A and B are shown apart, each in its own frame.
Chain A
Amino acid sequence: MRRMSDSGRGSGRNRPLLGVVLVGALAMVTACASGSYETGNQDTGGAGGTLTVALPSDIISMDPAMHRSRVTQSVVRNVFDALVNQGPDLQPVPELATSWQQLDPTTWQFDLRRDVTFHNGEPFDAEAVKFSIERLLDPDQKSPRASMLSSISSVEVKDPHTVLIKTKTPSPILLAGLAVNEIVPPKYVQEVGAEEFAKKPVGTGPFSFVERVPNERIVLQANKDYWGGAPKVDKLVFRPVPEVSARIAALKSGEVHIAAEIPADLAPTLTGDVKAAPVTGTRIFFLAMNVTQAPFTSAEVRAGVNHAIDREALVKGLYQGYGRSLDQPACPEMLGYHDSFQGPSFDLAKAKQLLSAADGAAVRIDVEEKDKTLAEAVAGQLQQAGLKATVNVLETQAFTNSIGSGASQAYLSSWGVAEGDADVIFAQHFWSPSRSSAFYTGYRNDQVDKLVADARATTDQTQREALYRQAIETVMHDAPWAPLLNPHEIYGVSTRVLDWEPSPIGRYNVVKTSLAS
């Protein structure tokens, strides 16, 4: 017994009892848990059924102003509407605004839909629009989305169904910004405050909010009075399932009906009651080269890199054909896409010749964990062409820091262009005035700078398209980037789901969707 008490504790009999008491106390402590799971019996027992969607991650918040995540938006957009939405070609279509016109370069007038009410009965009108936008831009609100509408200088209520939005300078991407920021009910929000609003959100959307259990589910109920027609299903449930195999397992077992973000390699396993539903995506993958660091100071080397990469093999091999190779920093649906452009072809001999200018320099491609496989494949292709390329995996924050400060020699990443406008890519990556934002490739070309500035200053879309065509040609000639590919978004869907179109931007528009039995 003496040996037992070496660590100076434990007097026999009381320990096990103590353990029980402590465990009980712990259980009591956790009894203050609120809403760990279903808070009640919400049995509607309707004929429409419950449509369940598996998300790749949990949402941030149900408050449309307090997040910056595509997954969150896909859920929030079912409870809230915005002034405009994005059509299949990603261009603006009416939603809460039935029509709009530009009165002068900095003034836009929106005509609002009539007879629309929020889920709590509050009427939708111009005041709601003014309130929602001003709330977003209010520094006290601390919304991470403020920068999306920062071009707006004022919002005026002309009459209950007309709104005037004035911008500081002509803003060609105003509509793109309005398409992703939803309208909230002013009286309700002011009454309950932001925190309570996020817990019990009220909007004008096709579904009303029932409950949210973090990391478990978000439950929405059909809004029978929806202005766009009542949804066919009774309930819409979102379940975050970050683990890919678990997501597929849930789909196959019937626990969920739609599963997001299925990797291309696993798409062939969706057979029987489920199938893969691919749709062209809006994510551009690229290899960025720091033009201020050797060997990428040499235009020859950069051109060589572009010729060394067999994009088709990557799409066929890594993505099972679920994707499109890119010869420019834009994808076909984007405004500004150059459809007659002749990009760099895969030419191993030419690449080897050009890359000899690198003199055997070692190249380190920084990448985040999630893009590691693509980076390794690209590095392998570059090695075959004679460039000593290796992959360096960085933790997410370290990666952001490295590429933003110009420390990276080269990096592989992707940029989502859900807005469908080339300005998104150019302003961030090829426009030198944005150098204060992030260093990225250090690329600088006065001609491109002027083209981009001009394109930002006008709202004439035809003119902008011409400007971007030129910009693309110049940028691809200088080649600070090797654009790679644009993968499809692959969803898994149960064969019971009828009338559902997969969305290229990760949305779930299920108003017309129904479940067969």
Chain B
Amino acid sequence: MSTTRVSRRQSAAKPRTRIASAASALRRVHDFFGGSWSVLIALAWLVVVIVVGVLAPLVAPMDPNAQDLSNRLRPPLTDGHLLGTDVLGRDVLSRLIYGTRVSLVVGFTAVALSAVLGVAIGLVSGYLGGVVDTVFMRIVDAWLAFPFLLLAIAIVAMLGPGLDNIVLALVITGWVVYARLVRGETLSLREREFVLSARGLGVSRPMIMIQHVLPNVLAPVVVVATLELGVVIVTEASLSFLGLGAGTATPSWGGMLADGRAYITVAWWLATLPGLAIFLLVLAVNVLGDGLRDALDPRSQRRMLRLAEGFE
């Protein structure tokens, strides 16, 4: 297959190679995801959101904190304010654009840290087995029984609002998913031939875990991480909604939703639009996660992902 593609590319005229290679890269992604266009669209949307977040100062039409007390609560499609203004006359569109930063930063950071923590614990617990495993898994069980939102509320109440505290709360509640997943897979991989032979060769246990077991659990971890990203974004918004948000320096979607809630009868756009933004981003992330899961070899990975499914 690939040889045909390569030769086709080589035979194309020079000015066209760039477009053609981009098109074929796209095609490969498309095929990777089982020929599904929705996943491609979701990926594209995610990229757009990330770009908007990174380039916010360039993309936003106004300063998100510029107040105009004479122009408060204007509806969308008003002069100069495509999505209207809020309770202090600030431009909603600009605030939405800057809001992507909070969602993305909190989302990616929390997921990355949770994954690292959870994978590490799961690896150790699954590989060592015995007492260590039992203790860890009892802790995990207790953790799971605890309503995570309550824990997050308590932590944020304790430490005060602010981005880092929210990320901390999310990590503390989020690592469990990865630990359970990785532990289960490690348990089964432990007895496989390549691991046994490595042990026979005298390779140290940490090395086995990192070099042999870890690569094999990464794929489902990535899937779970993608799905967890959606959960984390919604949780951050929920915390903001409950008044435990990131503080006011940067606008956040959850915070905008919370502020707009009181004005729902006179200014529906203040609550609706941020929620829509959250919804679209999380939808894209979930479609991507599903696509990733389907793209992996269904047979061997399915069983692991059955466990993961419970944690969406």
A and B in direct contact, judged by CB atoms within 8 A: yes
Residue of A nearest to B245 (CB): A393
Asked, given contacts A6-B307, A317-B69, A377-B69, whether A263 binds B262 with beta carbons under 8 Å apart, the answer is: yes
**A313: which B residues are within 8 A, CB to CB?**
69
Asked if B88 and A377 make an inter-chain contact with CB atoms under 8 angstroms apart, the answer reads yes
Max count, chain B CB within 10 A of own CB: residue among A249, A266, A317, A392:
A317
Interface hits, B33-48 → A, CB 8 Å = none
Q: Is the CB of B243 within 8 A of A265?
A: no
Given contacts A390-B249, A392-B247, contact A6 B88 (CB under 8 A): no
- Shortest C-beta distance, B271 to chain A (Å), equals 10
- Chain A positions within 8 Å of B69 at CB level: 313-314, 316-318, 377
Measured between C-beta atoms, what is the minimum distance from A268 to chain B in Å? 8
B256 close to chain A: CB less than 8 A: no
Name the interface residues of A360-408: CB closer than 8 Å to any CB of B. 369, 372-373, 376-377, 380, 390-395, 397-398
A7 sits at the interface (CB 8 A): yes
Task: Give the CA-CA distance A268 to B306 in the complex, in Å.
Answer: 54
Whether B88 and A393, one on each chain, are in contact in the complex, defined by CB atoms closer than 8 angstroms, is no
**Chain B interface size, under 10 / 10 to 19 / 20 to 34 / 35 or more:** 20 to 34
Q: Is B248's CB under 8 angstroms from A266's CB? A: no
Which A residues are in CB contact (< 8 Å) with B249? 390-391
A248 at the A/B interface (Cβ < 8 Å)? yes
Q: For window 158-183 of chain B, which residues contact chain A by CB distance below 8 Å?
A: 160-161
Chain A at the B interface: mostly helix, strand, loop or mixed? helix
Residue pair A245, B88 in contact (C-beta under 8 Å): no
Would B160 and A395 count as touching, CB distance under 8 A?
yes
Is B9 among interface residues, defined by CB-CB distance under 8 A? no
Q: How large is the interface on A (under 10, 10 to 19, 20 to 34, 35 or more residues)?
A: 20 to 34
Q: How far is the CA of A245 from the CA of B307 in the complex (A)?
A: 42
Interface flag for A269 (CB, 8 Å): yes
Smallest beta-carbon distance B266→chain A, Å: 6
Closest to B306 in A: A3
Whether, in the assembled complex, B216 has its beta carbon less than 8 Å from a beta carbon of chain A, the answer is no
Residues in B neighbouring A467, C-beta threshold 8 A: none
Contact status A393-B307, CB under 8 Å: no
Complex-state Cα separation, A265 to B69, whole angstroms: 12
How far, in angstroms, from A376 to B66 measured CA to CA in the complex? 10
CB-based contact A269/B265 at 8 Å: yes
- With a cutoff of 8 Å between Cβ atoms, the chain B residues found around residue A316 in the complex are 69
Which residues of B sit under 8 angstroms from A266, Cβ to Cβ? 262-263, 265-266
Q: Does B184 contact A (CB under 8 A)?
A: yes
Question: Nearest-CB distance from B55 to chain A (Å)?
Answer: 23
A453 within 8 A of partner (CB): no
> With contacts A269-B266, A369-B243, A377-B69 known, what are 19 further pairs, Cβ within 8 A?
A6-B307, A7-B307, A245-B262, A245-B265, A265-B87, A268-B266, A316-B69, A318-B69, A318-B88, A373-B87, A376-B65, A376-B88, A376-B248, A377-B67, A390-B249, A391-B249, A393-B161, A393-B248, A395-B243
Residues of B within 8 A of A (CB): 65-67, 69-70, 72-73, 87-88, 156-157, 160-161, 184, 243-245, 247-249, 259, 261-266, 303, 306-307
**Cross-chain pairs A/B with CB under 8 angstroms, 29 sampled:** A6-B184, A6-B306, A6-B307, A7-B307, A245-B261, A245-B264, A248-B265, A249-B265, A265-B87, A265-B263, A266-B266, A268-B266, A269-B266, A317-B72, A318-B87, A372-B259, A376-B65, A376-B248, A377-B67, A377-B88, A380-B67, A390-B248, A390-B249, A391-B248, A393-B247, A393-B248, A395-B160, A395-B161, A395-B243
